Amino acid sequence: MSAAGPAALAVSWWSSPIDRAVNGGGATDTYFPRLDPAAFAARGVVPMGHAAFAFVLGVALGLVIRRTLPAMATTFAVQAAVQIVVPLWIRPHLAATARTTVPIKPDGAPISIQDGAKQIVTHLEVPPVLGHLVTGLEVTRIRDVGAGAVALASDGASVRADAAVLASGAWLGGLAAPFGVRTPVQSGRGYSFSLPPDGLPTRPTYFAEQRVVCTPLGDRVRVAGMMEFTAPDRPPDPRRVQAIVNAARTLLPSADLTRRTDVWAGPRPCTPDGLPLVGPTRSPRVHVCGGHGMWGIALGPLSGKLLAESIVTGRRAPEFDGAASAAVRDTVSRAGRPCDAPELG
């Protein structure tokens, strides 16, 4: 027990950031590390409980069998059987089964990830008093010039504004690092392809176990899935597409998966703990808005609205003071207070 105690505490300490990240992974993530059979037995005081049980079992069997080696072997066998039987067949019956039904509103039309932003930008109306919309620039650097921020582009152009918001998705790190943002934003790429609708769901459908989503879009159905951690600009890996095809084949036996078109891979901007990065950097004129991972379409507009309000009014939105602001606080505290030492140049 004295060995199991420190070992269990060390494992719990080491794995706590991973457990927090997995638990913070989103509402569709059905994996909870502390209740997972393997993780439950390896965290906190549970290993000490197992060690105590093995000790008492060994003593009891020793009293009954009265021979050292057979008693040790029997203790080992019983303890191993308990480790298998309890998590697999007994523990699941200790908690009531939870069932949740989530109705999908009939007026909630799905949008295409690839075309959604383009459609929004196409219809964006910028009032003349706010300036004009600039598109097609690849920003290589942001400069804080004291009274404002300047975006420098690869073609030599520059755009000046009162404030800059870095919202460059999985590419956020390069532009944000000079402003003290240390939280990495990693590209977790998803894949999708389109199929004719025959044999496919007629409503948006999420197959949670296989992590495959079918979304009717126009006259096609988009099939999406996968989380691949790699550089955002790499070409799609055909093996990842095949993995989705293999997973979908058992779910959708009457669909013709060979007729796929529009094979696409796109980066989800992921932070280590799953929380978005929204707020000021070391410079009060340069802000970040990103790291929404799997939820950027749903959460991005709200983050943008709250951030815009806080930039204009100078008051932090109360929504940033809850759990979702942990990453913001992390950014700010590691970068220095927002008003400290603005990055000039």
Ligand X SMILES: Cc1cc2nc3c(=O)[nH]c(=O)nc-3n(C[C@H](O)[C@H](O)[C@H](O)COP(=O)(O)OP(=O)(O)OC[C@H]3O[C@@H](n4cnc5c(N)ncnc54)[C@H](O)[C@@H]3O)c2cc1C
Site residues, ligand X (CB under 6 A): 113, 138-139, 167-171, 190, 192, 224, 266-269, 290, 292-298, 300
| Identity of the residue, 180 or 190, whose beta carbon is nearer to ligand X in the bound complex | 190
| Identity of the residue, 61 or 278, whose beta carbon is nearer to ligand X in the bound complex | 278
Cα gap 296→270, rounded to integer Å: 10
Q: Angle between the 4-23 and 46-65 helix axes, to the nearest 10 degrees?
A: 140
Instruction: Read off the amino acid at residue 252.
Output: L
Do residues 183 and 173 lie in contact, with contact meaning Cβ atoms separated by under 8 Å?
no
DSSP assignment string, 274-340: S--EEEE-SSTTEEEEE--GGGHHHHHHHHHHHHHHHHHHS---GGGGSGGGHHHHHHHHHH--TTS
Show the tokens assigned to 104.
């999908």
| Identity of the residue, 135 or 250, whose beta carbon is nearer to ligand X in the bound complex | 135
Least distance from ligand X to the Cβ atom of residue 160, Å: 16
Least distance from ligand X to the Cβ atom of residue 288, Å: 10
Q: Is the dihedral of CA 263, 269, 270, 276 positive or negative?
A: negative
Residue nearest to ligand X (CB): 296
| Identity of the residue, 280 or 296, whose beta carbon is nearer to ligand X in the bound complex | 296
For residue 168, how many other CB atoms are within 10 A of its CB? 18
Burial of residue 130, with CB atoms counted within 10 A of its CB: 0-12 exposed, 13-18 middle, 19 or more buried = exposed
Least distance from ligand X to the Cβ atom of residue 190, Å: 3
Do residues 274 and 299 lie in contact, with contact meaning Cβ atoms separated by under 8 Å?
no
Cα gap 266→278, rounded to integer Å: 21
Q: In what order do the strands lie in the sheet with 149-153?
A: 139-144, 149-153, 158-161
Least distance from ligand X to the Cβ atom of residue 60, Å: 55
Least distance from ligand X to the Cβ atom of residue 176, Å: 11
| Identity of the residue, 91 or 211, whose beta carbon is nearer to ligand X in the bound complex | 211
| Identity of the residue, 94 or 102, whose beta carbon is nearer to ligand X in the bound complex | 102
Least distance from ligand X to the Cβ atom of residue 46, Å: 36
Beta bridge partners of 192: 224, 264
| Identity of the residue, 164 or 170, whose beta carbon is nearer to ligand X in the bound complex | 170
Cα gap 325→320, rounded to integer Å: 4
| Identity of the residue, 138 or 340, whose beta carbon is nearer to ligand X in the bound complex | 138
Least distance from ligand X to the Cβ atom of residue 163, Å: 17
Least distance from ligand X to the Cβ atom of residue 335, Å: 19
Virtual torsion, Cα 330, 335, 336, 341, nearest 10 deg: -160
